[in-house]
Structure 1
Amino acid sequence: MITWNNLDTLTSYQELEKAARVNLAEAMTGDKGAERVKKYSVPMAEGLVYYYAAKQVDDTVLDALKKLADEAQLAEKFKALYNGEVINTGEKRLVLHHMTRGQLGDAVTADGVDKRTFYKQQQERIAEFANKVHNGEITNAAGEKFTTVVQIGIGGSDLGPRAMYLALENWAKKNGTFKMEAKFISNVDPDDAAAVLYGIDVAHSIFVLVSKSGTTLETLTNESFVKDALKNAGLDASKHMIAVTSETSPLAKSSDYLAAFFMDDYIGGRYSSTSAVGGAVLSLAFGPEVFAQFLKGAAEADKLAAEADATKNAAMLDALIGVYERNVLGYPCTAVLPYSQALSRFPAHLQQLDMESNGKSVNRFGEPVNYVTGPVIFGEPGTNGQHSFYQLLHQGTDIVPLQFVGFKKNQMDTDVVIQGSTSQQKLCANVAAQIMAFACGKADENRNKNFEGGRPSSIIIGEQVNPGALGALLAHFENKVMFQGFLWNVNSFDQEGVQLGKVLAKRVLAHETDGALKAFSDLLEI
């Protein structure tokens, strides 16, 4: 029987608090450090490997973390989730994003349909539509092929698909699967839509409107912006737009769209990249086969995440170490640092995934918790970040745990040798050096040049950013966030914190304000 208990009530958590702290600088020095690198790693899907030698753990801490995973019933709770129990208690909903890429357990029926069949049908419909666009069976009014796809959405309807597109754009060009350029409009700031529209040929563009409810203010505002641009160009907007929405939304059967593809309430926006939300734009941009490879990588990662032994389950172990750093060691932030330009927007996606999921101060029963929960997530690609905020990471007053991601090969297979090494070798040399610099530091009598070290990091290493590896990487972090939510006993699948601002904004626009809200509205000339 599954029980939902607060973290600080678990016996294993109290044992973890008592475990001796690891001196990371000492542990990572010399041969001891080399042995740790060999010992502390877990294979992931698609050839990725999670290395955690530079984390502040040893066998004693790991034993305590395994006990915590067992007492918190992490594997059982994941099983309950993928078998269709109501895990999103705040909204009384199932949580089914894993089912968009595979079925881990029992068949799940909701809304009168088998959900795995439903998601597969949407993927098949998207694939058929994308192929017709690519083959010239679906064209603009002049019978000409569409060359650009533009996604209109915000939050999870933008961040994930945008990050995935950018991650695979160069790979697709190199491997001959690049079909259409993709652009994204998200911000209600008119400069966002205008910049995209001025930079494309609208006559040869197809627009994907993504809104589950069909009522999202920013998205519908940007849709109107796009429709005006199409009208001004003498074009019929209904021949240039498709919708990704729920079957019950006003967009579902509207003649304003060439086609509508469906999602449902069981997939949160930040978990929707493997649903029709990501499927439409990625299939149009790269072809359905590439999107299928992406789903396969995610599905393989999900299977590994079902492993009960935390030391063999990279996502679960990553989550456990993160909770240890946050709740026992007291570190408030985590930096995500991919050493790959392809992953330039991946930290932004993970920021929403993590902070919108676990930025909670009450447990799943609405009771205040007496411990900290989700950390602040931020990051940039290396080596750019090294010349930006790494100063604080190395010598600042806060210790910030680091999650590096690195790949042995670049995507374009083009490089140059400068001073005896290639650019890719220089990139990889930098990430290896940073891990050790953070862990071990450097003593110097000049305090301004002294590095204390003891700053923990992990790294996920793969061969190359390709569709399968990207899917596996995405699912790893989705599952990590899920496991951490289980540990903190919070609901990782609602986001009430985004609602209040929306309500007040509607009041401002309706001129139903007083006090300071009216004063700020007047300052902005609303």
Structure 2
Amino acid sequence: MDPKYKNLTTAEAAESLSRLAGQPYDLTASGALTETDRIERYICETGPFRMLYATQRVDDDVLNALQALADQCALTAQFKEMRSGAVMNRIQGFESEERQVLHTATRDVFGDTAAAPAESARARDELTKLKEFLTDLENGKITNAEGESFTTLVNVGIGGSDLGPRSIYEALKPFGISGRSVHFIANVDPDDAADVLSRVDLSRTLINIVSKSGTTLETLTNERLVIEQLRAAGIDPAKHCLAVTGEGSPMDDPDKYLRSFYMFDYIGGRYSSTSMVGSVMLGFYLGYDQLLEFLKGANEVDQAAETIPDIRSNLPLLLALIGVWNHNYLERSTVAVLPYSQALHRFPAHLQQCDMESNGKSIHRDGSQVKIKTGPIVWGEPGTNGQHAFYQLLHQGTEIVPVEFIGFIKNQRNLDLIVEDTTSQQKLFANLLAQSIAMAVGRLHENPNKKFEGNRPSSLLLADKLTPHTMGALLAIYEAKIVYQGFLWDINSFDQEGVQLGKVLATRILKLIKGMGVEDNELENRFLKVAGNGSSSRIAR
């Protein structure tokens, strides 16, 4: 393990937490939530968000032990080291990527106090390029062959080049420039691309190809498919296609792309939404000024995450520590993120990748095997739809699932209606509060079918309204939470070797489909024949 910092297996506070976990706070006890000022005290604020966590199974003793854990593991110091440009993406003594982790530099572009000045300057340069491009679109300097403006952007990418940007676009639809829209192609399934292309006017569409390496097979396949459709429509792809890629990659080619914007090797895909990966798309849709508001929201949280060691005043840090309390000490293997906002309907999918790809690891940073649980299973859907789907298990199932609710006081679109003396937004907010309370306190009943055990922990993350600024803050809260937890488990949250093996085997199978022999391929060949109902040629073109 990294001898420089303590972690969950070496910090002295871990023993205290193990002892306290033997008798966690009973939320169902008489007056547990009402006889003290617990509800008023158990609030943490950072940026535009405040978190209500009185419905977690923690008390002051647990919070003090979690504070000691954070201090002993130097969590904010490690976060500062990451933001300042230390090489964090590594496994000591073994071959690894050996990279900095500087997604925060992409929004550390305000003022003259950047944590990593050189990298933040590069981010500013890319923003300047983007601003110039957006200005040229706005003033008609860049148009299609007929002199018409571009109204649509199709984003072609996969994984971190799709999930984060897509979830943010969906969240901020009401703030878009009138007449503009964005569509996404990710799946290598050709039906995905066909569906999107059938719904757009290609003559007025920009195609944004996103791949850091310029070699991602799914993205290159979809790019080729889109380009063929453009050519079939008599459109020059070089005048409609944009590239977001690494400088010097095969996609960094001005002969093939109208503009190229750079992402850098110290920005992991799942952390790249505030880089050009998300900014080109968001800049096109929201405009440059609203894009900056999004980045400012993220930067505000980053600053707090680095500089505030008090867990009661650092929301992402407290969220991370409570998550570890639930996962490692109360032995809850999963966490549900449930936004009471339809606009965030794709945000849990982004968090699935960001969290599970980051912290789904089983070796420490020195290559030794972990002996504790690391990343939990993350999932979620919007409320109130989920209440009519999986909440039955949350309330009465044998698997206790900690919940992170997300809600807003106001709706986005200012369209609401009073029915039976309350508005739709008031009904939504009432349901949000009710679910958290019900899971915590449960209900006694003589009919066992109507009995609720309670003691099912949750937190409420609340803001006034979902805007570009609050969306940036929310994104950064969860990115910081994931990073902090990786530090606690002493794992490398910034590589994704688990993604690679399937790609290697898929390449071997593709060679078999093309009739090319592969050495030691008996296993793949037999699977292919069975899947093809006796002949691999059945799935060959």
Q: Does TM, normalized by the shorter one, top 0.5?
A: yes
Cross-structure match for 2:102: 96
Unpaired stretches in structure 1, ≥5 consecutive residues = none
Q: Secondary structure of 1:26's match?
A: coil
Q: Matches of 1:391 and 1:36 in 2, distance apart?
A: 28
Q: In 1, are the aligned partners of 2:402 and 2:458 still within 8 Å (CA)?
A: yes
Cα separation, partners in 2 of 1:105 and 1:317, compared to 1, 3 Å: farther
Q: Matches of 1:178 and 1:82 in 2, distance apart?
A: 37
CA RMSD of aligned residues (A): 1.6
Cross-structure match for 1:23: 26
Matched, 1:370 2:374: no
Cross-structure match for 2:498: 497
Q: Matches of 1:308 and 1:106 in 2, distance apart?
A: 20
Q: Secondary structure of 2:339's match?
A: strand
Matched, 1:40 2:45: no
Shift of 1:28: 6.5
Cα separation, partners in 2 of 1:178 and 1:303, compared to 1, 3 Å: farther
Cross-structure match for 1:145: 149
Matched, 1:517 2:519: no
Shift of 1:437: 0.7
Q: Matches of 2:114 and 2:134 in 1, distance apart?
A: 31
Q: In 2, are the aligned partners of 1:331 and 1:399 still within 8 Å (CA)?
A: yes
Shift of 1:229: 0.8
Q: Deviations over 1:310-362 (max 9, x none)?
A: 22111111101101111010000000000001111011111111000000011
Shift of 1:248: 2.0
Unpaired stretches in structure 2, ≥5 consecutive residues = 91-95, 513-517, 533-538
Matched, 1:309 2:310: yes
Cross-structure match for 2:93: none
Q: Mean Cα displacement is larger for which, 419-428 or 21-30?
A: 21-30
Q: Secondary structure of 1:9's match?
A: coil
Cross-structure match for 2:88: 87
Equivalent position to 1:163, from 151, 164, 167: 167
Cα separation, partners in 2 of 1:474 and 1:106, compared to 1, 3 Å: closer
Q: In 2, are the aligned partners of 1:82 and 1:105 still within 8 Å (CA)?
A: no
**1:110-125 superposed matches below 5 A:** 114-125=118-129
**1:335-374 superposed matches below 5 A:** 335-374=336-375
Shift of 1:269: 0.6
Matched, 1:460 2:466: no
Matched, 1:126 2:130: yes
Letter in 1 for 2:163: L
Q: In 2, are the aligned partners of 1:360 and 1:374 still within 8 Å (CA)?
A: yes
**1:421-460 superposed matches below 5 A:** 421-460=422-461
Q: Matches of 1:179 and 1:29 in 2, distance apart?
A: 53
Cα separation, partners in 2 of 1:7 and 1:30, compared to 1, 3 Å: closer
Shift of 1:131: 2.2
Q: Matches of 2:178 and 2:409 in 1, distance apart?
A: 23
Q: Matches of 2:5 and 2:242 in 1, distance apart?
A: 42
Q: Matches of 1:27 and 1:361 in 2, distance apart?
A: 41
Q: Deviations over 1:461-504 (max 9, x none)?
A: 11110010000010000000000000000011111100000010
Residue correspondences, number: 516
Shift of 1:5: 3.9
Cα separation, partners in 2 of 1:337 and 1:28, compared to 1, 3 Å: farther
- TM-score, structure 1 normalization: 0.95
Q: Matches of 2:254 and 2:505 in 1, distance apart?
A: 30
Cα separation, partners in 2 of 1:74 and 1:105, compared to 1, 3 Å: farther
Q: In 2, are the aligned partners of 1:130 and 1:283 still within 8 Å (CA)?
A: yes
Q: In 2, are the aligned partners of 1:42 and 1:49 still within 8 Å (CA)?
A: yes
Cα separation, partners in 2 of 1:187 and 1:83, compared to 1, 3 Å: same
Q: Matches of 1:294 and 1:409 in 2, distance apart?
A: 18
Q: Matches of 1:30 and 1:86 in 2, distance apart?
A: 45
Letter in 1 for 2:144: N
Q: In 2, are the aligned partners of 1:151 and 1:281 still within 8 Å (CA)?
A: yes
Q: In 1, are the aligned partners of 2:108 and 2:114 still within 8 Å (CA)?
A: no
Shift of 1:6: 4.3
Q: Matches of 1:30 and 1:96 in 2, distance apart?
A: 41
Cross-structure match for 2:407: 406
Identity among equivalent positions (%) equals 49
Cross-structure match for 2:418: 417
Matched, 1:298 2:298: yes
**1:47-62 superposed matches below 5 A:** 47-62=48-63
Shift of 1:105: 6.3
Q: Matches of 2:30 and 2:78 in 1, distance apart?
A: 34
Q: In 2, are the aligned partners of 1:178 and 1:287 still within 8 Å (CA)?
A: no
Q: Matches of 2:135 and 2:180 in 1, distance apart?
A: 12
Shift of 1:9: 2.1
Cα separation, partners in 2 of 1:92 and 1:179, compared to 1, 3 Å: farther
Letter in 2 for 1:478: E
- TM-score, structure 2 normalization: 0.93
**1:219-238 superposed matches below 5 A:** 219-238=219-238
Q: Deviations over 1:232-269 (max 9, x none)?
A: 11111111100000002011134110010001110001
Shift of 1:4: 3.4
Q: Deviations over 1:102-135 (max 9, x none)?
A: 16966647xxxx2111011101111211221132
Q: In 2, are the aligned partners of 1:28 and 1:36 still within 8 Å (CA)?
A: no
Q: Matches of 2:416 and 2:438 in 1, distance apart?
A: 27
Q: Secondary structure of 2:28's match?
A: helix
Letter in 2 for 1:3: K
Q: In 2, are the aligned partners of 1:83 and 1:105 still within 8 Å (CA)?
A: no
Cross-structure match for 1:69: 70
Q: Which runs of 4+ in 1 moved over 4 A?
A: 27-30, 103-107
**1:232-247 superposed matches below 5 A:** 232-247=232-247
Q: Secondary structure of 1:510's match?
A: helix
Letter in 1 for 2:162: D
Q: Matches of 1:208 and 1:380 in 2, distance apart?
A: 28
Q: Matches of 2:332 and 2:421 in 1, distance apart?
A: 39
Q: In 2, are the aligned partners of 1:101 and 1:298 still within 8 Å (CA)?
A: yes
Cα separation, partners in 2 of 1:107 and 1:432, compared to 1, 3 Å: closer
Q: In 1, are the aligned partners of 2:134 and 2:287 still within 8 Å (CA)?
A: yes
Q: Secondary structure of 1:494's match?
A: coil
